[in-house]
């Protein structure tokens, strides 16, 4: 996955492109580059490494021009190197392109172009696009891009500029890689996603699959690749410069986006509940789902599809929906969904869950479900993202922009949204009456305040050790085991995932009852075991598992209800959470898991906002 930006207007392009590129850095950060047109000259600077390195090059060797494109790369074809970085140029260095996606037939094209005398300078699939456009440019840049796009196979988004046509930026989208056009005052922006345009414009148009656009400072035209004119109304996004500043560019006082986002969870949860819950009447309103109570009664199954952290939220959602609505629920790893020939029809509600709304596997699962006749309601955080646009309805999490690669506030916002969805289903299907709904929603309403209390674990309070100090005791451990039961089993998986990706320590999440079937053999005095054991239906069983760990000299870090002397007394380290209804505990348990992973990662000197080899979501394989 890569990030693309473009600009044409009265300002120096680089002053717009670099901040936008930084907002896209989560999409890839192993190389970066920029191309502008100054007079009729194409100026290109690019480098392996992060955007900071590109900025240093631009400092020494600035580029000028009021039209430009830029790119941040996550390598797929060709290792990260200066030569493989984008933009790529044609033989004559007259045109430059940036690209997100994969060109499947690039080998054949490359051979064919080489036979024609085109000289290649990189190992990328992208460079063939520049040469292909060069081949087809007789009737201008736009026609060249169109002809080239028709010959390319794969899924891609491309932006292109040319020194001899300095008044235009041409862009095209085939398949899933997103492209958004932003409208300013006599200036036009282009980007891989909406957050990149944050603070510049609120007026946007999303380029659909199989469309291309020609941008000038004063006009934007849209066409299908077979030449038909497209007219589309502009959308207004509800983010402004203020939101951008609040979103923290840079991260307003916190040392990392991850920590900032962990601390934003009370607000993320509150925003996700806001105006959807009638506390007095005990009602839930989610009209954006586009489903009537009758539709909900008519369902015979629900199917969650998601990846990574979103998958763990789905697993918690299964417990909630089955308990509140007595509706059978399946949870599928999105990347596996299409390989198991899922049995779906109009009575199955498929719910893709995705923070970014751009994860390729989740999008593919959504499309598979649609093909099988299922209705689709997405749980998604990014407005206007591909998942949100392709679903029949959307239950938006309102976590705000998540910059840290490790998902934190989006996860707890997803748990909140799924709690609301489960309640809504339970009420419609007659398993939850208004009194119970009032009780449950009141509990949910209190969660943000309880979370704020758990966040205090970041500091030393009374007798409770600051989580940073706990982390320092375990930062050198080689392996971790996370145990949970029932609704906390997915939290054990999530805790282990956070630790792995942030600190590179091997960690396994396990249903605690499975310990005796093998993993118990691993436990010894060097093995920290995070046991999730707040008061609730699985408490006694967890207490027994903790004793088993202690009997093998394992080190127990227990997440327990504050004041629990029993399990708490057995544990080596206690991470307390306040008392809360069983169904809401995952929202609180998530916080110490995240803080522990964060602090261990920081202590080990890891780049917690951008772990190696990880991009925030994978749009194109």
Give me the least distance between CB of 154 and ligand F6R, in Å please: 21
Q: Is 359 in the site for ligand F6R (CB under 6 A)?
A: yes
Q: What are the respective helix, strand and coil percentages of the chain, to the nearest 5?
A: 40, 25, 35
* Coil vs helix vs strand at 82: coil
Which residue's C-beta sits nearest to ligand F6R? 308
Burial string for 234-260 (b: 16+ CB within 10 Å, else e) reads eeebebeeebbeebbbebeeeebbbbb
CA distance 402 to 408: 8
Of the residues 2, 160, 380, 606, which is catalytic?
A: 2
Q: Which of 128, 120, 75 is nearest to 97 (CA)?
A: 128
Q: Is 416 in the site for ligand F6R (CB under 6 A)?
A: no
Torsion of CA 550, 554, 556, 557, to 10 degrees: 180
Give me the least distance between CB of 288 and ligand F6R, in Å please: 18
Asked if 66 contacts 45 with a C-beta cutoff of 8 angstroms, the reply is no
2 noted as active-site residue: yes
Nearer to ligand F6R, 129 or 376 (CB): 376
* Coil vs helix vs strand at 435: helix
Q: Which of 121, 125, 145, 122 is nearest to 133 (CA)?
A: 145
Q: CA distances (Å), 89 to each of 34, 252, 594, in order?
A: 12, 38, 43
Q: Within positions 388 to 407, which residues make up the interface with ligand F6R, using CB under 6 A?
A: 406-407
Q: CA distances (Å), 229 to each of 181, 212, 223, 224, 570, in order?
A: 16, 10, 4, 7, 70
DSSP 23: H
In the shown chain, the binding pattern of residues 453 to 492 toward ligand F6R, with x for contact by CB under 6 A and - for none, equals ----------------------------------------
Give me the least distance between CB of 598 and ligand F6R, in Å please: 11
111 noted as active-site residue: no
Give me the least distance between CB of 618 and ligand F6R, in Å please: 7
Q: Within positions 70 to 89, which residues make up the interface with ligand F6R, using CB under 6 A?
A: none
Beta-carbon-side half-sphere exposure of residue 180 (alpha carbons within 13 Å): 26
* Contacts of 328 by beta carbon, 8 Å cutoff, 6+ apart: 300, 301, 302, 322
Q: Within positions 261 to 320, which residues make up the interface with ligand F6R, using CB under 6 A?
A: 307-310
Q: Is 176 in the site for ligand F6R (CB under 6 A)?
A: no
544 burial type by CB count under 10 A (0-12 exposed, 13-18 middle, 19+ buried)? exposed
Nearer to ligand F6R, 126 or 362 (CB): 362
Nearer to ligand F6R, 124 or 617 (CB): 617
Give me the least distance between CB of 445 and ligand F6R, in Å please: 25
Nearer to ligand F6R, 161 or 316 (CB): 316
Interacting span for ligand F6R (CB under 6 A) from 163-171, 297-305, 353-361, 593-601: 353-361
- For ligand F6R, the binding residue among 126, 201, 617, 619 (CB under 6 A) is 617
**Residue 32 in tokens:** 């970066």
Of the residues 260, 424, 500, 616, which is catalytic?
A: 616
- For ligand F6R, the binding residue among 85, 100, 354, 594 (CB under 6 A) is 354
- For ligand F6R, the binding residue among 84, 176, 192, 355 (CB under 6 A) is 355
Nearer to ligand F6R, 126 or 594 (CB): 594
Active-site positions read: 2, 616
Question: What is the binding site for ligand F6R (CB under 6 A)?
Answer: 307-310, 354-356, 359, 362, 406-407, 497, 501, 617
């Amino acid at each position: 996955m890569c990030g693309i930006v473009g600009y044409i207007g009265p300002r120096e392009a680089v002053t717009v492109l670099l901040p936008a590129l930084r907002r896209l850095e989560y999409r890839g950060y192993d190389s970066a580059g920029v191309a502008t047109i100054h007079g009729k000259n194409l100026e290109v600077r690019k480098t392996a490494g992060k955007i900071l390195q590109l900025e240093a090059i631009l400092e020494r060797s600035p580029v000028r021009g009021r039209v430009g494109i830029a790119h941040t790369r996550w390598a797929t074809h060709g290792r990260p190197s200066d030569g493989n970085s984008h933009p790529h140029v044609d033989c004559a260095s007259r045109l430059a392109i940036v690209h997100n996606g994969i060109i499947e037939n690039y080998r054949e094209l490359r051979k064919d172009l080489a036979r024609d005398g085109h000289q290649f300078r990189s190992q990328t699939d992208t460079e063939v696009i520049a040469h292909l456009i060069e081949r087809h440019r007789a009737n201008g840049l736009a026609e060249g891009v169109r002809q080239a796009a028709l010959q390319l196979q794969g899924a891609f988004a491309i932006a292109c500029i040319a020194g001899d046509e300095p008044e235009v930026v041409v862009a095209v989208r085939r398949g899933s890689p997103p492209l958004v056009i932003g409208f300013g005052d006599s200036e036009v922006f282009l980007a891989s996603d909406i957050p990149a345009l944050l603070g510049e414009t609120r007026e946007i148009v999303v380029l659909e699959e199989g469309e291309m656009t020609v941008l000038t400072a004063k006009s934007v035209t849209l066409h299908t690749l077979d030449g038909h004119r497209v007219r589309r109304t502009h959308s207004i996004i509800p983010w402004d410069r203020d939101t951008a500043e609040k979103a923290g560019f840079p991260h307003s006082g916190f040392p990392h986006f991850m920590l900032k986002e962990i601390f934003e969870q009370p607000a993320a949860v509150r925003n996700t509940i806001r105006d959807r819950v009638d506390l007095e009447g005990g009602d839930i309103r989610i009209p954006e789902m586009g489903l009537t109570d009758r539709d909900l009664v008519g369902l015979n199954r629900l199917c969650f599809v998601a990846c990574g952290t979103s998958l763990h939220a789905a697993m918690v959602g299964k417990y909630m929906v089955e308990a509140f609505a007595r509706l059978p629920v399946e949870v599928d790893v999105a990347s596996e969904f299409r390989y198991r020939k899922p049995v779906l029809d109009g009575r199955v509600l498929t719910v893709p869950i995705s923070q970014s709304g751009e994860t390729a596997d989740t999008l593919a699962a959504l499309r598979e479900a649609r093909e099988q006749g299922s209705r689709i309601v997405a749980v998604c955080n990014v407005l206007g993202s591909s998942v949100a646009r392709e679903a029949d309805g959307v239950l938006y999490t309102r976590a705000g922009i998540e910059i840290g690669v490790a998902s934190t506030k989006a996860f707890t916002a997803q748990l909140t949204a799924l709690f609301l969805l489960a309640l809504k289903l339970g009420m419609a299907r007659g398993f939850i009456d208004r009194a119970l709904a009032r009780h449950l929603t009141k509990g949910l309403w209190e969660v943000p305040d309880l979370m704020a209390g758990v966040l205090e674990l970041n500091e030393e309070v009374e007798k409770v050790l600051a989580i940073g100090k706990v982390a320092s005791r375990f930062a050198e451990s080689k392996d971790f085991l996370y145990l949970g039961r029932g609704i906390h089993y997915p939290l054990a998986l999530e805790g282990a995932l956070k630790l792995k990706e942030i600190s590179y320590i091997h960690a396994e999440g396990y249903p605690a009852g499975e310990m005796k079937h093998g993993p118990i053999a691993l436990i010894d005095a060097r093995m920290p075991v995070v046991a999730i054991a707040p008061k609730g239906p699985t408490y006694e069983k967890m207490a027994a598992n903790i004793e088993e760990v202690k009997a093998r000299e394992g080190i127990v870090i227990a997440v327990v209800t504050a004041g629990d002397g029993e399990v708490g007394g057995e544990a080596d380290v206690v991470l307390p959470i306040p008392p809360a209804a069983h169904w809401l505990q995952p929202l609180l348990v998530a916080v110490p898991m995240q803080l522990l992973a964060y602090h261990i990662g920081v202590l080990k000197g890891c780049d917690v906002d951008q772990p190696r080899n990880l991009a925030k979501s994978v749009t194109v394989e």
